[in-house]
A and B are shown apart, each in its own frame.
Chain A
Amino acid sequence: ILNVEQSPQSLHVQEGDSTNFTCSFPSSNFYALHWYRWETAKSPEALFVMTLNGDEKKKGRISATLNTKEGYSYLYIKGSQPEDSATYLCAFKVRSSGAGSYQLTFGKGTKLSVIP
């Protein structure tokens, strides 16, 4: 079973602050890293899928970077707004062969609360 660690588990920030959190994963046999946003009482929604070392993705005020050699990804939120309050999940896929090789391992998430 692969280990995907997310830190911190939770954080509170003031509206307007920028913040970031980390997803750590095994650096060997990397294939893909996903980020999802999960609002309370809703279902997880995909933010980014990252596949190459050095990848940087951006969606509005949210961006992510990927370092496959050292096994981490950062998610950044610039100028946090109350609507950014959610749990942010990352999920990791190791390179393997065969038709049955599509298995994502999820971290436990970082719960972000943005205080107005």
Chain B
Amino acid sequence: NAGVTQTPKFQVLKTGQSMTLQCAQDMNHEYMSWYRQDPGMGLRLIHYSVGAGITDQGEVPNGYNVSRSTTEDFPLRLLSAAPSQTSVYFCASSEFGTGARQPQHFGDGTRLSIL
């Protein structure tokens, strides 16, 4: 099994551009989430999904959009990139049956720079 796969691994954007970070998992996990990691900060939740067709906002959702049309995929869209969105982005998935009592499986991250 590949686990959680994120693409691309690195990306440089110009301010105002849009792009989609891809996340796919092959473990049939109901729960998927996106985090951002900034220096001096813990992982902060952007958006999450508890199943196909169900998404919700996390702590820092502004400037990001998500959808969940399949169990496997959970793309994160930057609508109009801003320098403040320069960060490392992690996608994670887990079983959902008992809420947050299942460990999360993380992808390798996407390092995004906005110029």
Chain A interface residues (CB < 8 Å from chain B)? 1, 4, 31-32, 34, 36, 42-46, 49, 51, 89, 91, 93, 99-109
Contact = CB atoms under 8 A, between A and B. Distances in A.
A31 B4 CA distance: 25
Of the listed residues A1, A42, A46, A51, the one surrounded by the most CB atoms of chain B closer than 10 A to its CB is A46
Given A1-B59, A89-B42, A102 B99 contact: yes
Contacts of A31: 99-101
A49 B108 contact: no
B113 interface: no
Contact of A51 (B41, B48, B101): B101
Given A1-B59, A102-B48, A102-B50, A108 B100 contact: no
Nearest to B51: A99
B108 A42 contact: yes
Contacts of A93: 99-100
Given A99-B50, A102-B96, A49 B102 contact: yes
Nearest to A94: B100
The A interface, classified by DSSP as helix, strand, loop or mixed, is loop
B56 A100 contact: yes
Interface string B88-115: 0010000010011111111111000000
A101 B103 contact: no
Given A100-B48, A102-B96, 4 more contacts: A43-B4, A43-B90, A51-B101, A102-B99
Contact of A106 (B31, B43, B56, B102): B43
A44 B37 CA distance: 12
B79 interface: no
A104 B44 CA distance: 9
Nearest to B90: A43
24 contacts: A4-B42, A31-B99, A31-B100, A31-B101, A32-B99, A34-B104, A42-B108, A43-B107, A43-B109, A44-B104, A46-B105, A99-B50, A99-B54, A100-B48, A100-B54, A100-B56, A102-B31, A102-B50, A102-B99, A103-B58, A105-B42, A105-B45, A106-B42, A109-B42
